[in-house]
Amino acid sequence: MPKNTSFAAVTREKARAKINLSLRVIGKKPDGYHDIMSAMQSVTLHDDVVARVELRAPVCRNSEGVPGYGAPRRGAPCIDLGASTANISLSIYPRSARVPQGAQNIAHVAAREYARHAFRALGRGMPGWRGLEAYISVSIRKRIPIGAGLAGGSADAAAVLRALSRAFEAALAKYAQSQPQLKLSLPTHAELHGMAVSIGADVPFCLRGGAAMAKGVGDLLTPIEPLPQDMHIVLVNPRFAVSTRWAFDVWDAAAAEAGGAANLAPCLEYVNDLAAVTARAHPIVDRIRLALLAQGANVAQMTGSGPTVFGLFESEAVARAACERARKEGLWAALCRPAP
């Protein structure tokens, strides 16, 4: 059996939550997805993602030539990506029955997608090489509530893509020291965006971050003026989750009852077409919004399909007081700022 040479790297990323400063639903597409227009802003509330990549390559024990590259040094690693495999493990803390721990988790999907595209990209620079194994472990420390309209899962998936991109690059840089003749390549920024689109609607924005106008199914992003860095954002969640699919299904039913016309209204600031849907089923959402306004917020609105409500405050002291009051009432609340 050939010996293996391994090259490992560890990277860390912040998976930042987002808020929808506006969300207009244009209409339902034939494929079941929805065209939207949404002004989105990253915030400093985040999950922590740690990714470790170990690449193992069998060692050539003889002086026979490797196809396309002549004879490597005795003992140098040689690989053929036609037989490459990825072994992926995912750990999420704290554990929750509402968060899948294995292959069904969106972060695991992101890891599989990145590994598949990475092997394909590496094959462009190393045709005909065999035997590379990738051992990928991802650990996520959750802070963003689940099913809250804050894109917590999408943020994790995007952070996994960024972390693995950096980890693969670092591990391959070590490998390249033993194979200087190789032209190593990894997925491009455009390919990363394509992966994000295939994984989930909010993942492209979370991959990019900052502030952007999202159109289409969330895949068409245009930079916009971000919120001021000194803006204080209070997030309040009533400690239950809302299904995005449910919210859009209810919106679809209302649109059909109204004649099925697409919503062509402009993307006004702080208007959310799903807010009325969620607030009708969960009146506490509107009570939270009104309470934040009464406590000094310049603006308060539900984000995404909810049920989280954000309030924008100019004063940190006033924002902190509103956050503490929500916590005393048994609600989940966090104080954060816009993230670049």
Residues belonging to the active site = 18, 202
**Residue whose entry in the numeric block shows the structure tokens 């990714």:** 51
**Element (DSSP H or E) covering residue 173:** helix 152-176
Name the token pair of 309: 């409500």
Q: Peptide bond before 2: cis, by omega within 30 degrees of 0?
A: no
Query: What backbone phi and psi angles, to 5 degrees, belong to 160?
Result: -65, -45
> Burial of 64 by CB count in 10 Å (0-12 exposed, 13-18 middle, 19+ buried)?
exposed
Name the token pair of 293: 């306004």
- Of 303, 271, 272, 300, residue with least CA distance to 288: 300
Distance CA 149, CA 310 (A): 10
Residues in the chain: 340
Residue pair 107/152 in contact by the 8 Å Cβ criterion: no
| DSSP letter (8 states) at residue 138 | E
